[in-house]
Amino acid sequence: MINILESNRKYQGDEDKEFLSLFQQYEQDIYRMAYVYVKNKDDALDIVQETAYRSFLKFHTLNELKLFKTWVMKITINCAIDLLRKNKKVIHLNTEVAEFVSNSKEDIPLSLTLQDLLESINEDEKTVILLKYYQGYTFNEISDILNTPLSTVKSVLYRGLQKLRKKTRRADIYGQ
């Protein structure tokens, strides 16, 4: 993934080396966030590549290096949402899911139910819930990543959680 950056542009200074070092440090987190959105290894890798490209082009605009992770995660989320919008009308036959289901010893119905639940809420709610509970960000960090007021982040989170609770209660009623 990073080889693309290295091959397309020779190091022109410390800024390029600094970007490469920082990006490699968070590359796995970027991939995990992308994968949560697209649930497909190839698309997640495409998102990582697009994130690398976009963040590399705009790295000079980042004022504080300590904010790199939140900055690059926001770019990742935007790239993932862009890809989902682009592919919204395309239906893919994914053989990896069938292989995973047949080879896995996990509780597949539970994991599919959780993914279905996350798919049932809107993108803002999904993003906040994933950042809070999957990535472990604080409310303030999520507010910075999404460039949204803290109170809005909390409201979106609680609204999303309430929707998920209602859906699980309905599933429990119908399941019994």
Does one domain contain both 88 and 49?
yes
The token pair at 38 is 């697209």
CATH number, position 88 = 1.10.1740.10
pLDDT of 175: 52
- The residue among 29, 57, 92 that closes a domain is 92
Same domain, 87 and 137: no
Q: Are residues 49 and 86 located together in one domain of the fold? A: yes
pLDDT at 5: 46
97 assigned to some structural domain: no
**Residue 53, pLDDT score:** 93
pLDDT number for residue 174: 53
Q: Given this model, what pLDDT does residue 133 score? A: 83
CB within 8 Å of 20: residues ≥ 6 apart: 2, 5, 6
* CATH assignment of the domain containing 149: 1.10.10.10
**End residue of a domain, out of 68, 92, 116:** 92
Element (H, E) at 171: helix 150-175
Q: Is residue 98 part of a domain?
A: no
Query: Are residues 114 and 79 part of one domain?
Result: no
Residue 142 and residue 23: Cα distance in Å, rounded? 19
pLDDT at 1: 46
Torsion 124-126-131-132 (CA) sign: positive
Structural domain for 163, as ranges: 106-176
76 and 144 in a single domain? The answer is no
Answer yes or no: do 1 and 53 share one domain: yes
pLDDT for the residue 171? 58
| Angle, in degrees to the nearest 10, between helices 150-175 and 108-119 | 130
Q: From first to last of the 176 residues of the chain, give the pLDDT tens digit.
A: 444 444 344 445 678 888 999 999 999 999 999 998 888 899 999 999 999 999 999 998 888 888 898 899 999 999 998 888 887 755 544 555 445 444 545 444 444 466 777 777 888 888 888 888 878 888 998 888 888 899 999 999 999 889 888 877 765 555 54
Classify residue 101: in a domain, yes or no. no
160, 129: one domain: yes
> What does the angle CA 84 – CA 88 – CA 90 come to, to the nearest 5 degrees?
120
* Structure tokens belonging to residue 176: 């019994």
DSSP string, 34-74: HHHHH--HHHHHHHHHHHHHHHHHHGGG---GGGHHHHHHH
What is d(CA 30, CA 35) in angstroms, rounded to the nearest whole number? 9
pLDDT of residue 64: 87
**73 and 142 housed in the same domain:** no
Tally of domains within the chain: 2
Are 111 and 73 found together in one domain? no
